[in-house]
Amino acid sequence: MEDSKTHNLPRKSKNNYSYRAKKREVADRIVGPSCCFCGYDVRLIVHRKDGTPHERFDTLSISRFTQELQTGQYARVCFKCHKAVHWAMKYLGMTWEEMTSRTNPR
Ligand SMILES: [Zn+2]
C-alpha cells in the first residue's frame, strides 16, 4: 500500500491523479456522491458545515482525510450550492442548520 509512504506527499507527485481519485471515493462513501441540496453530482466540494476554516484537503493523507470526514462536520455540496451556502452565511447570517432545515437535504 502506498499509504505508509505518503505522509509528506509532494504537491505535484506522479500519483497525484489517483490520490485525488481515492479521496473522491472516500468522500463519496462518507459524505455522499452528490450535492445534499440539489443532487448535482459533478464539481462537488466537501463543505465544513459551520463554515470555519479547516486544513486543506489536498495536503492531507488519505487516512487523515477519512478521519476528518468521519467527524460528521462535513457535507457534500456542488460548486453552485457551495457558493450559495457561503453567500447565505455571509449576507443573511444563516447557519447550516437553518439552511438544511428549510431545504430537506438527505
Ligand atoms: Zn447543489
Query: What are the extents of the domains in the chain?
Result: 2-103
Q: Identity (one letter) of the amino acid at 103?
A: T
- In this prediction, residue 8 carries a pLDDT of 58
Res 64 pLDDT > 90: yes
Res 7 pLDDT > 70: no
CA distance 23 to 19: 6
Q: What's the average model confidence in pLDDT over 36-50?
A: 95
Q: Does 59 or 103 have the greater pLDDT score?
A: 59
Q: Look at the block and give the residue holding cell 471515493.
A: 25
Give the pLDDT band of residue 18 (cuts 50, 70, 90).
Answer: confident
Give the pLDDT band of residue 5 (cuts 50, 70, 90).
Answer: low
All cell numbers assigned to 13: 507527485
Q: Kindly give the distance from the C-alpha atom of residue 78 to the centroid of ligand 1, in angstroms, as a whole number.
A: 4
All cell numbers assigned to 97: 442548520
Q: Kindly give the distance from the C-alpha atom of residue 99 to the centroid of ligand 1, in angstroms, as a whole number.
A: 13
CA distance 47 to 44: 9
Q: Kindly give the distance from the C-alpha atom of residue 36 to the centroid of ligand 1, in angstroms, as a whole number.
A: 7
Contact between residue 26 and residue 74 where contact means Cβ atoms under 8 Å apart: no
All cell numbers assigned to 52: 470555519
Q: What's the average model confidence in pLDDT over 59-82?
A: 96
Q: Residue 98, Cβ neighbours under 10 Å: how many?
A: 13
Q: Kindly give the distance from the C-alpha atom of residue 57 to the centroid of ligand 1, in angstroms, as a whole number.
A: 20
